[in-house]
Amino acid sequence: MRVIMPLNTLANMCGHFFNCNMTHGYEDKPNVNNGYNCNHSDCGDEDEGVGKCLASACPIAFPADGLDCKEAGMTLEECECCGREDCECEEDYMVCEIPESRFDNRRMWSYPEEKEGVE
Q: Which residue has the higher pLDDT, 78 or 31?
A: 31
CA distance 47 to 109: 32
Q: Quick one: average pLDDT of 8-30? A: 93
Its pTM surpasses 0.85: no
Question: What is the model's pLDDT at position 118?
Answer: 47
65-93 pLDDT, tens digit per residue, is 888 888 888 877 777 767 677 776 666 88
Question: Would you kindly state where each structural domain of the chain is located, as residue ranges?
Answer: 2-8+60-110, 17-57
- pLDDT exceeds 80 at position 19: yes
> If 0-12 CB within 10 Å is exposed, 13-18 middle and 19+ buried, where does residue 113 land?
exposed
Q: Quick one: average pLDDT of 37-41? A: 95
Question: What is the model's pLDDT at position 103?
Answer: 95
Q: Quick one: average pLDDT of 1-18? A: 94
Q: Quick one: average pLDDT of 95-109? A: 94
Produce one character per residue of 16-52: b if its CB has 16 or more CB atoms within 10 Å, e if not.
Answer: bbbbbbeeeebeeeeebbeebbbbbeebeeeeeebbb
What are the backbone dihedrals phi and psi of residue 58, each rounded to the nearest 5 degrees, phi first? -70, 125
- pLDDT exceeds 70 at position 115: no
